[in-house]
Structure formats: structure tokens, C-alpha cells
Structure 1
Amino acid sequence: MANHRKQTKTLLSLSKRQWLKIAATASAATLLVCGVATANHFGTHNQSPVTSYSATDSNALSVSRGEDRTDLRGGKGAVYVTVKIGGKNRAVVGTHFTDVKSVLDQGDITLEPGDIVSPGLKTKVNESTVITIDRADSGVETSESPIGFNTVKKETSALPRGQEKVETEGQEGVMETTSLITKAGKKKISSNVFTSFVKKAPVDKVVLVGTGSTGSTSTADSLGTTVPVGEMQQWAHDYLLSNGGTEDDFSATVYIISHESGWRINAQNPSGAYGLPQALPGSKMSSAGADWATNYQTQLKWFWSYCAKYGGVQGAYQYWLVHHNY
């Protein structure tokens, strides 16, 4: 059988030249090992592990545009996506980011009810994506709105028949409304009226209509004919006249309601008085109908029935002029 083993040289049999070659190789290997160790040392010495970031840290980690980053979808390196919460910046560090939701998940950012996220949760992200979270906030908002005035025509013998003259110019009133609102950024999520009352009552435009001859100075005692404004007033006018009421009854109605609620169905005084007639409490109007909180017709029917204690709506009007309530 043939012998396949090779002849093995011993250290004693090596020549001087072979000894020098072995020594040189060993020296190079030692330098290589030391160099790698040194490089690893300098590569990690000044790096501290990132464990967490404050969601409102304005000095969150930023990365220069020139830095080499691994692809967001599958690389091993960490990437950074900016998230703004309530106007504050945060850099979310992670890997395998795909969409906005993946960034929030890896950043351990929990959305609260009412939060608005831009762009949407399913939007794909890249290095330049900035995710904005507008956090809902609640507060009180006060606003003012105008209350329209009516035109009242009064007959007078002080002017020739058919001639008209403006006795009082009309002025709009002011309705002050305070609402409890919930916002997310600039978007209003909800608004609930807390109070809404007449801050300044409107002033009717009074037009004198002549009925007499020149030189007469008398003026009729009538409250005048008030021109209805809007659906509610038109209904009130027609309802009164079809149920035995007069133009004076309607004029008295308009005056009281304009001063009490500015014709706002949901007007609510800080005292708790509610609705067109400012019933206190508003639930009193349930005697006129279960829809008392939202139906102006129900509220007005209750109002006229309540005025019966003054002998009618004109009696309530005369009382209001003296006491500023009824």
C-alpha cells in the first residue's frame, strides 16, 4: 500500500531564512489585531446608549443631512424621524420605519382622545418626514354676536296723513356667549354653550306715520305696528292675530323677548334662566310641551300663558318697563 502522508519539517530543521519569514508574519499579525482593537475603542468610547427621549424636549437629537443613514425599510442602522407634539420637537430613533404609525409605535407615543395626527397614520415616511400631533385642549371662549332691531310704526296726528318721520334710529344689540370648547391645534372639536345672554338690548327703529292735519301734536297710545323679522317673529305675529291677539300684543312680545334673550332659543343666563322667555328654571316650560328646550313655538306659548298673571302680554310689557323683568 502506498504511503500518502507528507513529510513534516520540525523547528530544528528550518533554515535561517525560513525563521526570518515566520517572525515577520507574526509581527504583522500583532499590529493588525492591535489596530482593530484601537479602532473599536475610538468608535464606541464617546457614544452613550440612547434609551429614551422626552416627548416635549425642544433639544431633541438632530442629525446632519450629510450623515450616512441606512434605508428606512430594512437596514440595520438607526434612523431618526421628527415628531412635533404640542409645538415641541422630538426625534424618534428606530429601525424598519414604514409608516407614521410605526414611528409612533417605536417611539412609544400614545395618542390621546381628540389628538390630530398629520400626516395620517398610514402615510409612508422617509428621512424628511415631520409628524405633527396637535393635542386636544379645553378652555372657555367668549364671543359676541349682533341682535337685530325691529322697525316699529306708530301713528300720530302730529304729521299730515301719509307722511312718515323717523323718530328713533334703530341700533343692534349685543349677545354675549360663553362656550366650553375643546380644540386640537386650530381645529375646534366641540363647543357647548355655557351662558348666552343679552349684553346690550337692541333699540327699535321708530317711524311715525301721520294721520292728522298740519299743526296737530297728539300721538296715539298704541304700542305701534312692529314689522316681523325672521321665521320666529313671523310665526309669533301670525299666531297671535289668529288667536285673538293684536298688533300691540305682538309689539309687546317682541320688546320683551328681544330684551330677555335676543330671540335665541338656547339663551341661558348665568342664573339658569333659559330660552326665549328666560324661564327660571327652563324646565318650567315643559308644561307647554316636552320639546321646550329646542322648540321656539313651545317656548312662546308658555311665555304668553305666563304673562296672564299680568293680565296679558301688554301688562307684562308695562311691568318690564318699570322693573326690567317680568
Structure 2
Amino acid sequence: MAKANHRKQTKTLSSLSKRQWLKITASTAAVVTLVGGSLFAVQDHNMRQNSVNRVTSYSATDANGLNVSRGTDREDLRGGQAGDSYVNVKINGQNRTVVGSHFTDVKSVLDQGDITLDTGDVVTPDLKTKVTESTTITIDRADADLETTDAPIGFNVVTKETASLPKGQQKVESEGREGVMETTSLVTKAGNKIISSNVFTSFVKQAPVDKVILIGTGSKAPVSSAAANIGSTVPAGEMQQWAHDYLIANGGSEADFTATVYIISHESGWRVNAQNPSGAYGLPQALPGSKMSSAGADWATNYQTQLKWFWSYCNGRYGGVQNAYKHWLSAHNY
């Protein structure tokens, strides 16, 4: 269930079987091919001409935001099930794997993948053609170009207690560094005028680095609490503030919040509609995203629903979010 990882510019998947795809290793998955996700707008499939669709993204799950180790079976996919099927969709030469169940024909794959066709799109094979996991669905959209931009991802401030400093004294252990979110859009123009610009892929090209501040305890005894080891993170923004307050109100700790911020920052950059070409979705990169429906019908758009699913998943698989964090540090996935 848990090792769905999401990377940039992998080799084209159309020639790979499902099992081969799942066995791609860290050394071969340094970069995932950018995907024609202008068709993947989850929250408003009717946004078309003269509009900009909401951003999608997928994670960078090592320190440099480039590496990956992928699970070897379906049960390893985060939130996935043994009954799930995997069908490759190629859009304007780029690839996405749609994860779902009860696929029958091409239309059923597009429906479960939230892929909306524009007028003039050419689909091969046709919508009524039956599919198997060896099927590759091709969608061609004319007069559209790829444009790529970078945007900063903010870093957090983490405080850690230490017995090596006098009580109350502070010291910056490491400076913070913004991450980089790379966004690629499918843009249609008439001359120099933009007719439509649909963001279809936005991924963590480089993960942010927290600013860590040490705070002295003035005690000769070593500080051994989980909060001291992981640190206490200052919430940044509405989503993080809600996550912090919700955890504390429900018996969680500052360390639980710090672990949450670290994982979500690396998995999705706190993009609610983050979408990986593998089918992973949302803040926690659930695979497929529809698994989060167990936490609420608004799973595709509500960050609170997604975070509740995330904590439930971490509790069920690892016994808590701090254990999921420890696993992430060693495996670069959870």
C-alpha cells in the first residue's frame, strides 16, 4: 500500500508491463516524464477556453527531489488494493498511469482517471474499445505547446531543545532554504494571444529545507523526548495551522505535527490537488486518490479530509505519523 512514489522524467511507460512498471528502481527513475494533465483537472472539468486549471503536482521524495524507490507489488502502493488495475494513457506524447477498478472500455478508464476530452481531441482506440492492462490509450490535442515555470516552496522553522546550550540560549543549527515547484502547462495560442492555459503537472523539483533553531535547556541530562529529537515546527499558512490545532486537540503532540509537515512538504508541497502521473493524488499522495473517500466525499478538494485520511493511514500502517516519518527518512517514502 504505502510505497507509491512519484518522480520526474522516467522512461516512457507505454512499452512496459504493469509489473515492470512497479519494479522501476531508484536508479532508473531519476526523472518522471511530464504528463498531459491539462486533461486531468479534478476540481473543475469544465474549465476550458480563457481559463487556467488548478495546479497538480507530485512529490520529490529524497533530499534533492529527484530519486525514488518503488514498491514491488500492488499491496505496497499507498492506499491501493490488490484488485486495482493499471492502464497507461499517453497525451500529446506524454504519459500517465490511471489506477482504478472495474475497467471495461476506454471511456471507463478516462472517467476513473478524471480525464476530460476537449473538442477536437483524437482518442485511440475509440471510447467503446475494451481495455486490458496492456492497452495504451492515446489522446492527441492539436495546437497546444508545453510551457514550464518554477515557483518557490516555503520552508518551515523548527525548534529543538538541546542540553549543550545554557538554558534559554538559542543557536541556528541550519538555515532554511526554499524548495522549487516546477509547473508545466499546456498552452493554446492564437498568434501571441493565449486562448487557454491548463496546468497539468506541478512537482517538487527540490524539497524545501527547514530552518532549525537549537534552544538550550541548561540541563546536564540529555534531552531524549520525541519533541526534542524531531523538533517543534512553527505552522505556516492556513492548512498547517489547522493541522497543528487539530492534532493537539485530539491528543497529538508537537512532534506529530513536525512529522506531518515534513512528509507532506516532501510529498506534495502542500498542494491539495497534487497529482502524480502514477495516479497518486492530494497532500498525502494517496494512490489512487479516491481511496481518501473513506475520510469524506470531498476528498478531492478538502485539505482537512485529506489530512484526516493521511493520519488514519499512518496510524494503521506504522502505528503513528512519527513512525511514518522515521520510515520516510530511511526509505524516502511512506
How far 1:247 moved relative to its partner? 0.3
Of the two structures, which has the highest relative contact order with CA contacts closer than 8 Å and spacing of 6 or more?
2
Summarize deviations over 1:192-220 as a string: whole Å, max 9, x none: 2322221111100000001115xx58454
Between structures 1 and 2, the one with greater helix share: 1
Within 5 A, what are the aligned runs for 1:86-165?
A: 137-165=143-171
Report what 2:188 is aligned to: 182
Q: What SS class does the counterpart of residue 212 from structure 1 fall into?
A: coil
Q: Percent identity?
A: 77
Asked if 1:197 corresponds to 2:203, the answer is yes
1:322 partner letter:
S
Report what 2:237 is aligned to: 230
How far 1:183 moved relative to its partner? 2.3
Q: Distance between the aligned counterparts of 2:309 and 2:196, measured in 1? A: 31
1:306 partner letter:
Y
Which 5+ residue runs of structure 1 have no aligned equivalent?
A: 1-112, 114-135
Q: Distance between the aligned counterparts of 1:300 and 1:239, measured in 2? A: 10
How far 1:257 moved relative to its partner? 0.2
Which 5+ residue runs of structure 2 have no aligned equivalent?
A: 1-118, 120-141
Asked if 1:167 corresponds to 2:173, the answer is yes
2:161 partner letter:
E
Report what 1:129 is aligned to: none
How far 1:137 moved relative to its partner? 4.0
Please, which of 275, 292, 313 is the counterpart of residue 299 of structure 2?
Answer: 292
Summarize deviations over 1:273-312 as a string: whole Å, max 9, x none: 1111011111111111121111111111111111011001
**Alignment: residue pair count:** 190
1:203 partner letter:
V
Q: Distance between the aligned counterparts of 1:188 and 1:283, measured in 2? A: 33
In 2 relative to 1, CA 187–232 (structure 1 residues): closer, same or farther, beyond 3 Å? farther
Summarize deviations over 1:224-275 as a string: whole Å, max 9, x none: 1100000100010011111111100000000000000011112122222111
Q: What SS class does the counterpart of residue 228 from structure 1 fall into?
A: coil
How far 1:168 moved relative to its partner? 0.7
Q: Which has the larger radius of gyration?
A: 1
Report what 1:208 is aligned to: 214
In 2 relative to 1, CA 305–230 (structure 1 residues): closer, same or farther, beyond 3 Å? same
In 2 relative to 1, CA 190–287 (structure 1 residues): closer, same or farther, beyond 3 Å? farther
In 2 relative to 1, CA 164–269 (structure 1 residues): closer, same or farther, beyond 3 Å? same
Q: Distance between the aligned counterparts of 1:181 and 1:275, measured in 2? A: 24
Report what 1:130 is aligned to: none
Report what 1:43 is aligned to: none
Please, which of 319, 322, 333 is the counterpart of residue 314 of structure 1?
Answer: 322
Q: Distance between the aligned counterparts of 1:322 and 1:276, measured in 2? A: 20
Report what 2:265 is aligned to: 258
Asked if 1:270 corresponds to 2:277, the answer is yes
Q: Distance between the aligned counterparts of 1:188 and 1:293, measured in 2? A: 28
Q: Distance between the aligned counterparts of 1:236 and 1:188, measured in 2? A: 38
Q: What SS class does the counterpart of residue 165 from structure 2 fall into?
A: strand
